[in-house]
Structure 1
Amino acid sequence: MQVRDFQVNDFLRDSWQKKPLMIRNMWTSWSNPLEPDELAGLACEDGVEARLVMQTSGTLAVEHGPFVETRFDKLGHEPWTLLVNAVDHHVPEVSALLNSFRFIPNWRIDDVMVSYAVDQGGVGPHFDQYDVFLIQGLGRRRWQVGAPCDDATELLPHDDLRLLAQFEPTQEWVLEPGDVLYVPPGLAHNGIAVGDDCMTYSIGFRAPSRNELIAGWAEHLVEQSDDGDRYADPALALQDNPGEITAEALDGLHAMLTEKLLDRRAFAHWFGQYNSAPKDPDIDWTPEVPVAAADLREMVPARSSLIRNPASRFAFVRESAQSVMLFVDGHCFACAGKTALFAERLCALDHITIASSDLRSQGTTTLIAALTNLGSVTIADEG
């Protein structure tokens, strides 16, 4: 689908993490990528995170999947909503929606959640800690936006939903198929289906908290550290008071800690693996028969593409003008020269053509084989 005249630079300057933006008819021709029955089928599968939110006498109750198929025939006439997370990992047509939002760095993209609701269905007023694009796929939905929220904002007691105790809308829109609403983090919002067969695609973005980063980085450092690396003071001098922790001792202890914490290259290496780790580590995408790099030239057709697994996460960190660290699904690959250029192409596009020169590079064939054996890419015959 081709995007209409959407001014990316204006959006990033004026709206991104600043204010909501309604984008009418974002695409020249909108086509809903997923049918309601297909979404319901996904919600019945093991390993797919799905929730059913039902309104009963003014309250919201939540059921967690996987569901049996007959569950959707017994929902009655009260408003309800089906929510399925990470649908882009299972449906390439949904994953393709992300191509229109590549002006946001790949490492920030989390997943595409898809919701289906009957008339008046919704999940109540709430706020998210991350940016979100809300794409209307089918039917109509009324979106209301309110005041900024934070950790001090009062919530209603609920085991499964973060519902606002008070919500006063300040802006309101009714979205038609192909419309998009951008909502920055921390802004109260509420979506209500207007009529049946209402489908919304929510593209959420990762926003690691300071606590997450500290905990993850520190845990990694502890795992990598040698317990024999201990404080030493060979130049110890007699103190006036043995009860004092001297400035010199504190400087040495602090240096032991900060030397590792402030290692930027090590942090980049850790963060790339941490951020690219699979959303669901239990899903196995590996092929039944491993591929050997030495066999690729004979295996790969003359015209072929490398297609990324929609569930895989690709990102890179530039180390020099000629080298990058490529991160894929929690793994790190050091790439240099032509292989680095190949890795950059692979991070920028969902699929790339494999050139004959790629297969003449040992580093590139080794990388292709490794990614194929992880299940992160597949080789397809373009002919």
Structure 2
Amino acid sequence: MSQTPLTQLGPLSVADFLQGYWQREAIFLPATLPDFRSPLTPEELAGLALEEEVESRLITHSDESPWQLENGPFAESRFLSLPSQPWTLLIQAVDQLIPDVHQLLQKFRFIPSWRLDDIMVSYAPTGGSVGPHFDYYDVFLLQGAGKREWQIGQQCDSNSPTLEGTPLNILKEFKAQQRFTAGPGDIVYIPPGTAHWGTALDDDCITYSIGFRAPSVADIFDDLSQDIASRLSNDQRYRDAQPLGFTNPGEIDTTSLKQLRQLIEEQLSDQALSSWFGRYMTTPKYPELCPDPEAIEIAQMQTWIDSERWAQQAPEARFSYLEQGDSARLFVNGEEYSCSPSFARTLCNRTAYCLAELSDPAERHLLLELFSLQQLELCDEADG
């Protein structure tokens, strides 16, 4: 599968889609990937659900017990005793497990790669569904096999009523406004907050959900404040501005509040904020899927770097960068490195590159470190 980002989404150019629909309105995008065929079978998905490090879920539904959730890993016997009522199996981060699915993720790099999250793959026999719900992030729902009916509903938020008696956030009310039937290669785009409800129409239904990172403001403040606090010493404390006299000892005056704001703003320099953000947005969501650093002989890695071999980002690695004049900051899996802008652009904007292009002595140590951490890996030129 080509790793070139899409330029056309069904009837729309990517530019028209971004201008008219992205984070605004749901849309059905037929035949976006007309030749796409699921690289996974239902049996292979069930096999992944047996693995300890893989996040998997099983959702069953009946009138007596609506939308019940079981978390994996599962025993093989569980799949031999599935109920007759509809069910759905969901596997997270399949792009980090299956190379062909990782290549699929590259098709959506018309959105900044630091916004891409992971690909969840679901299988359901006829009638299987996860119920009417909404997400807080954008998602492209690519049909990989079989057919699925999608109903698009109303806009929702945290105040939208949900059903009791289930651990899932199933909407109590769903008002269908659009209906689509998706076959292999069709995509349904759902923006944040839009209710949707997918139901398998046959026993071959496999759907690939390409999701995007959208941290809550609460999570941003929580992580940022911890990052700032970790860099401060106990000597740094609040101090009063030059007092002019306190006539009302119980009052918190505006001068004190201004002093407090200045103290906070001093810790929010552009340098500090961008450094934190780069590390935060490249931190792996599933670190347990990242391989341990490998003891590769330095001489062997040096041979790779001096050769015409090709390399690419490892499936588990997240790369982003920030340019600052003649230098750049490279962010990989939550760590920060200094390098040249050209080096950062090559590593982050391209899916594969000849190592001879990156043989600048100034970047040699960094290349060796990325290889030893298995964040870069060798590949065939054809993969690029």
- The two structures have a TM-score, normalised by structure 1, of 0.92
Partner residue in 2 for 1:14: 20
Secondary structure of the structure 1 residue equivalent to 2:103: helix
| Counterpart-to-counterpart distance in 2, 1:129 and 1:84 | 19
Give the match for residue 75 of structure 2. Answer: 68
- Find the counterpart in structure 1 of residue 376 from structure 2: 377
Matched ranges for 1:272-283 at <5 A: 272-283=278-289
Unpaired stretches in structure 1, ≥5 consecutive residues: none
Report the CA distance shift for 1:13/1:226 in structure 2 as closer, same or farther (over 3 A).
same
1: CA distance, partners of 2:174 / 2:253: 54
Does the residue aligned with 1:67 lie in a helix, a strand or coil? Answer: coil
The answer to whether the Cα contact below 8 Å between 2:289 and 2:316 also exists between their aligned partners in 1 is no
Are the structure 2 counterparts of residues 61 and 363 from structure 1 closer, same or farther at C-alpha, using a change threshold of 3 Å? same
- Aligned letter for 1:343? A
Identity of aligned residues (%): 39
Aligned pair 1:226/2:226, yes or no? no
Please name the residue that 2:354 is paired with: 353
CA distance in 1, matches of 2:241, 2:216: 40
Matches within 5 A, 1:189-228: 189-228=196-235
Map Cα deviations across residues 240-273 of structure 1 (whole Å, 9 max, x no partner): 444444443333233112211x312101101111
Matched, 1:107 2:114: yes
Q: CA deviation at 1:132?
A: 0.4
CA separation of 1:145 and 1:241: change in aligned 2, threshold 3 A: closer
Which among 333, 338, 362 is matched to residue 334 of structure 1? 338
* Pairing of 1:1-383 with structure 2 (within 5 A): 1=1, 5-6=8-9, 7-57=13-63, 59-233=66-240, 235-260=242-267, 262-292=268-298, 296-300=301-305, 302-320=307-325, 322-336=326-340, 340-355=341-356, 357-359=357-359, 361-380=360-379, 382=381
* Counterpart-to-counterpart distance in 1, 2:105 and 2:380: 24
User: Could you tell me how far 1:192 is from its partner in structure 2?
Assistant: 0.2
Going from structure 1 to structure 2, the CA distance change for 1:248 and 1:87 (only over 3 Å counts) comes to same
Residue-by-residue CA offset, 1:327-374 (whole Å, 9 max, x unaligned): 1101101112xxx3122122123322212x522x12322121111122
CA distance in 2 between partners of 1:163 and 1:271 (Å)? 32
Deviations, residues 184-214 of structure 1 (Å, cap 9, x unaligned):
1100000000010200000011111211111
1:291 to partner: Cα distance? 4.9
- Asked if the contact 1:296–1:365 (Cα under 8 Å) also holds between the matched residues in 2, the reply is no
**Cα distance in structure 1, aligned partners of 2:239 and 2:69:** 56
Q: Distance in 2 between matches of 1:232 and 1:19?
A: 50
Residues 264, 290 of structure 1: alpha-carbon distance in 2 compared, 3 angstrom cutoff = same
Give the distance between the partners of 1:214 and 1:182, measured in 2 at CA.
Answer: 29
Q: CA RMSD in A?
A: 2.1
The alignment covers a number of residue pairs equal to 375
Return closer, same or farther for 1:67/1:301 CA change in 2, 3 Å cut-off: farther
Residues in 2 aligned to 1:300 and 1:196: alpha-carbon distance in whole angstroms: 48
In structure 1, how many angstroms separate the alpha carbons of the residues matched to 2:114 and 2:8? 25
Instruction: Report if aligned partners of 1:145, 1:169 keep a CA contact under 8 Å in 2.
Output: yes
Q: Distance in 2 between matches of 1:328 and 1:103?
A: 20
Q: Deviations over 1:67-121 (max 9, x none)?
A: 1122111113221110001111101101111122111111111100000000000
Gaps of 5+ in 2: none
C-alpha displacement of 1:300: 4.4
Query: For residue 331 of structure 2, what is the amino acid of its counterpart?
Result: F
- The structure-2 alpha-carbon separation of the partners of 1:162 and 1:246, relative to structure 1 and needing over 3 Å to count, comes to closer
Q: CA deviation at 1:297?
A: 3.2
Q: How high is the TM-score relative to the length of structure 2?
A: 0.92
Report the secondary structure of 2:288's partner residue.
Answer: coil
Confirm or deny: 8 A CA contact 2:328 2:339 kept in the other structure. Answer: yes
